[in-house]
Amino acid sequence: MLSPSISATEFLKVSDQQASLYQRLVMMQPSKVARIGVESMLKRKMSVVPGRLNAATIFLNRLLPRRLATAISYRLITSQ
């Protein structure tokens, strides 16, 4: 399973949205995400989170209570 964060595509522009600061920090190029996904598949990895900051976010999220993780996620996504 490939679990990327936001990718630098035309979606935000077409949907007239702006990426939050956090989203801009973790944003990756689609070609890099695809390459990581294919390499992981060939290595028979069951799950991969591309990008160090993305992987750290997922790991740290497991340590937090759900209510706190939800509140932090909301603030990160909605902050401009």
pLDDT of 75: 86
Q: Distances from the Cα of 3 to the Cαs of 13, 16, 33, 41, in angstroms?
A: 22, 24, 9, 13
pLDDT of 18: 84
What is the full per-residue pLDDT of the chain (80 aa) written as tens digits?
999 888 998 888 898 888 888 888 889 999 999 999 999 999 999 999 999 999 998 899 899 999 999 998 888 878 66
Q: Which amino acid is at 12?
A: L
pLDDT of 80: 61
The residues that bridge with 32 in the sheet, in sequence order, are none
Question: Coil, helix or strand for 70?
Answer: helix
pLDDT of 19: 84
